[in-house]
Amino acid sequence: MANAEKTHAALPYTADEDGMLLIGGERADDIAARFDAPVFVYDRRLIDQTVARLRACMPSDLRLHYAIKANPFAPLLEHMAGLVDGFDVASAGELERLSQHPQSDLPVSFAGPGKRDSELAAAIDAECCVNLESEGELNRLAQIARQKGRLAKAAIRINPPFELRGSGMRMGGGAKPFGIDDVDVPGLLQSWPKDALDFQGFQIFTGSQSLSAEALSEAHGNALRLALDCACYAPKPAKIFNIGGGLGVPYFPGDKPVDVDAVGASLAAAMDALRDQIAETKVVMELGRFFVAEAGVYLTRIVDKKRSRGTTFLVTEGGLHHQLAVSGNFGQVFRKNYPVALANRFSRAETDLETVNIVGCLCTPLDRLGDDVDLPSAQVGDIVAIFRCGAYGPTASPSGFLSHPACQEILL
Ligand SMILES: Cc1ncc(COP(=O)(O)O)c(C=O)c1O
């Protein structure tokens, strides 16, 4: 643990008297033994704390939506349904995952380029709001709605003229496959097909994985104002202004957690300044990783320990086929280490530290889980724990690559 704390933002995990990592009150070795395979362990109490913390510093009428692409594990979705005010899906497959929890009647939006006709039809059937990514998509949705004799809920996803500065993934500003350019929005609204589409509002998603309160506040304020400008041309008052989210997670050494108090205070000021104009409109913040990343630990056993030309390698039975992001191949330019520790020697004041490279079992040099990490001297059978793995894990990784066993998941 000392190693992880030295370089990464503090972790919310403890160990028992044997030095064994505890997750959700359970020993990591017990969990690993139960699954006999690499496993993602999600701690629901940490998710609860994160959502509560965010709510405490955001305007009380801000709606929090969960983008399920971050983690669509069924028990976790069920848990999230009790915490958030809505969901965002990015495919009919994700919509289907949500529909397996019919007890949740929270609003759902569907964003993402390239929606097929069958997906648009599924969205209409599910009464989900389609966030339109192009004029062509608008026309197809209207046509399908007419064929069904239904009114489809639809919002415009605007490609804004600004971006979320410094974000890990920029989703707005410039030429983008996402959303409709802001300059084209007034024209589309003025010719809105009222017979087929029930106008809901706007979504402006400018980026993801930002740790800068200043950049986030600027993007949220800009999004609010742009949505308001566009609303003048709308066929009816907007019910929803989805201003995106973008709150990041301190994955790497030196990263600092987002100052959510500052983001909340700035958004409250922006919303207050526009209070009269948005009285009838729900302002939505849409987040994925921020809710769930901290609550997830990836556990994988060491199957081999070897030396090669002076370097020690710990070879695990997991790898990038379960957790691509940790290997650095999911949007990173230069690979950096996630927080990592030996689960079975998590809290002791260790004296026998050694510098190791942790790798996965795939026969590719891309499969790196930790470079030059100082860990207590590890043995075959020990368990490597990688932290902040609750988002973009199994479903964002190439699970079929090399046909190794799939990982397991559990929510505690
Ligand atoms: C439209 C949309 N919503 C939500 C998200 C979730 O982003 P994050 O997990 O960083 O909060 C993304 C990520 O790409 C997105 O494209």
Per residue in 71-110, pLDDT tens? 999 999 999 999 999 999 999 999 999 998 877 789 999 9
Separation CA 179–CA 159 (nearest Å): 5
- Give me the phi and psi of 392, to 5 degrees please: 55, 50
Is pLDDT above 50 for 3? no
Is the pTM value of this prediction over 0.85?
Answer: yes
Separation CA 292–CA 207 (nearest Å): 18
Per residue in 309-320, pLDDT tens? 999 999 999 999
Ligand 1 within 6 A of CB of 203: no
CA-wise closest residue to 154 among 192, 186, 182: 192
Pairing of strands 63-67, 152-159: unpaired
CA of 18 to the centre of ligand 1 (A): 39
Ligand 1 within 6 A of CB of 288: yes
> Which residues, other chains included, contact 123 with Cβ-Cβ below 8 Å and sequence gap of 6+?
92, 95, 110, 115, 129, 130, 141, 152
Separation CA 321–CA 185 (nearest Å): 41
Separation CA 105–CA 163 (nearest Å): 32
CA-wise closest residue to 281 among 236, 323, 311, 216: 236
Q: What is the 3-state secondary structure (H, E, C) of 85-97?
A: CEEEECCHHHHHH
Q: Which fold has domain 44-292?
A: TIM Barrel (3.20.20)
Degrees (nearest 5) of the Cα angle 208, 212, 217?
85
> Which residues, other chains included, contact 191 with Cβ-Cβ below 8 Å and sequence gap of 6+?
none
Of 360 and 6, more confident: 360
* The ligand 1 atom nearest the CA atom of 112: 1
136-140's contacts with Cβ under 8 Å and 24+ in sequence apart are 138/188, 138/193, 138/197
Q: How many residues does the chain have?
A: 412
End-to-end CA distance of the chain: 22
Count of CB atoms situated within 10 Å of the CB of 16: 14
Per residue in 329-367, pLDDT tens? 988 888 999 999 999 999 766 778 999 999 999 999 999
CA of 249 to the centre of ligand 1 (A): 13
Ligand 1 within 6 A of CB of 168: no
Q: What 3-state DSSP class applies to 81? A: helix
The answer to whether the beta carbons of residues 342 and 384 sit under 8 Å apart is yes
pLDDT the model gives residue 171: 64
pLDDT the model gives residue 5: 45
Whole-Å CA distances, 137 to 29, 126, 134, 179: 50, 18, 5, 10
Q: What is the DSSP letter of 48?
A: H
From 64, 156, 167, 286, the mutation candidate for ligand 1 (largest count of ligand atoms within 8 A of CB) is: 286
Q: Which H/E stretch holds residue 269?
A: helix 260-273
User: Sign of torsion, CA 361 366 370 371?
Assistant: positive
Per residue in 26-59, pLDDT tens? 999 999 999 988 999 999 999 999 999 999 999 9
CA-wise closest residue to 209 among 242, 243, 249: 249
Q: Give the 3-state secondary structure percentages of the chain, helix then strand then coil, rounded to 5.
A: 30, 25, 45
pLDDT the model gives residue 2: 45
pLDDT the model gives residue 104: 79
Is pLDDT above 60 for 6? no
The residue contributing the CA closest to ligand 1 atom 10 is 208
The residue contributing the CA closest to ligand 1 atom 14 is 208
Query: Does domain 2-43+295-411 bear CATH number 2.40.37.10?
Result: yes
**Average pLDDT across the chain, whole number:** 94
Burial grade of 337 (CB within 10 A; 0-12, 13-18, 19 or more): buried
CA-wise closest residue to 203 among 136, 92, 284, 85: 284
Separation CA 406–CA 70 (nearest Å): 18
Reading the block at residue 355, the tokens are 């510098």
Per residue in 232-251, pLDDT tens? 999 999 999 999 999 999 99
> Which residues, other chains included, contact 20 with Cβ-Cβ below 8 Å and sequence gap of 6+?
27, 28, 29, 343, 344, 346
pLDDT the model gives residue 280: 93
Domain ranges of the chain: 2-43+295-411, 44-292
User: Sign of torsion, CA 339 342 347 353?
Assistant: negative
Ligand 1 within 6 A of CB of 155: no
Per residue in 249-302, pLDDT tens? 999 999 999 999 999 999 999 999 999 999 999 999 999 999 999 999 999 999
- Identity (one letter) of the amino acid at 332? Q
